Structure 1
Amino acid sequence: MNDIDAWVWWLVGAAGLGIPLVITAMPEFGMFAVGALAAAGVAGLGFGVVVQVLAFVIVSVALIAVVRPIATRHSTQRPQLRTGVDALKGKQALVLERVDGSGGRIKLAGEVWSARSLDNGRAYEVGQEVDVVEIEGATAIVI
């Protein structure tokens, strides 16, 4: 196998590693594909098989060692900006109609919501401020 054939084979290997990347969504295959591209570049510059394999291994391992922990950390982080009903939890609301275990109305984030008390034996009168602990459908659960 001459030098031109070597870089072509490395490109074929990179494309071959790209297929399972797309099918399985495992980023490690992409990192190996980048290693194969690096080996193709080294082969294109005329270096021998040993240097090509070393380039493949070094680039692939470096990417897995550096990129994978960063990607894992980002995938396990909670979003800093809460949106939707998650943003309403913990907010204060104003009671518009008496709220007890069976229902009532509150003003939450500028909108009128149906609400009920978390504790069925507890009631909140008009004008009181309550805290939203949960949203169930279109009903705010308050304390």
Structure 2
Amino acid sequence: MDDLWQWLGDHQWAGWLGAAIALGVVELVSLDLVFAMLAVGALVGMVSSALGAAFVVSFLLAVGASAATLLLLRPPLIKRLHGGPELTMSHAKLVGSQGVATMRISGLEVGQVRLAGELWSASPYDDTLSIEPGETVEVLEIRGATAYVHPIPRLDP
């Protein structure tokens, strides 16, 4: 056992490397980026130890690096991982787009419109309107598989 302590005293960097690897493995299980930040601190301790620093100096550098990464690096990483762009589903992307009525659409009869190359069942957003085939419409809402549309007025010369 004394030989182990003697070897670790002469090769402190190996102890720090072992700690960094162990902390990295624990991070793979926890996935909360705390142990990864501690592993970074252990790597800093390893580098300082390999450069000949005393154990106390390596320990203080490792604690400082761990604290710095936990306080400065982890919060923006967590925010970025849990955030992200607002995802709009395929049907929500159609709101605001224009299409062409392919069948008569009125408050009493569901018709069809061609939107982004696909046929959709459609109803007028305003139940009192009637939209004839060939008219250009704008999608104001999607409910289920039905697009609620409003005709776009034409400027005839």
Q: Shorter-chain TM-score category?
A: 0.7 to 0.9
Unaligned segments of structure 1, at least 5 residues:
none
Give the aligned CA root-mean-square deviation in angstroms.
Answer: 2.6
Q: Distance in 2 between matches of 1:61 and 1:102?
A: 66
Bigger shift: residues 29-38 or 91-100: 91-100
User: Percent identical across equivalent pairs?
Assistant: 28
Residue correspondences, number: 138
Structure showing greater radius of gyration is 2
Q: Distance in 1 between matches of 2:112 and 2:131?
A: 10
- The correspondence for 1:110, drawn from 113, 117, 124, is 117
Q: CA deviation at 1:124?
A: 4.3
The change in CA–CA distance for 1:123 and 1:29 in structure 2 (over 3 A counts) is: farther
Residue matched to 2:56: 50
Is this contact kept in 1: 2:124–2:131, CA < 8 A?
no
Residue matched to 1:131: 139
The change in CA–CA distance for 1:21 and 1:40 in structure 2 (over 3 A counts) is: same
Residue matched to 2:19: 13
Q: CA deviation at 1:125?
A: 1.0
Is this contact kept in 2: 1:95–1:129, CA < 8 A?
yes
Residue matched to 1:66: 72
Residue 51 of structure 1 aligns with an amino acid whose one-letter code is: V
Residue matched to 1:96: 102
SS in 2 for 1:97: coil
Residue 138 of structure 2 aligns with an amino acid whose one-letter code is: V
Q: Distance in 2 between matches of 1:67 and 1:60?
A: 10
**Is 1:34 matched with 2:37?**
no
TM-score normalised by structure 2 residue count: 0.71
Residue 105 of structure 1 aligns with an amino acid whose one-letter code is: Q
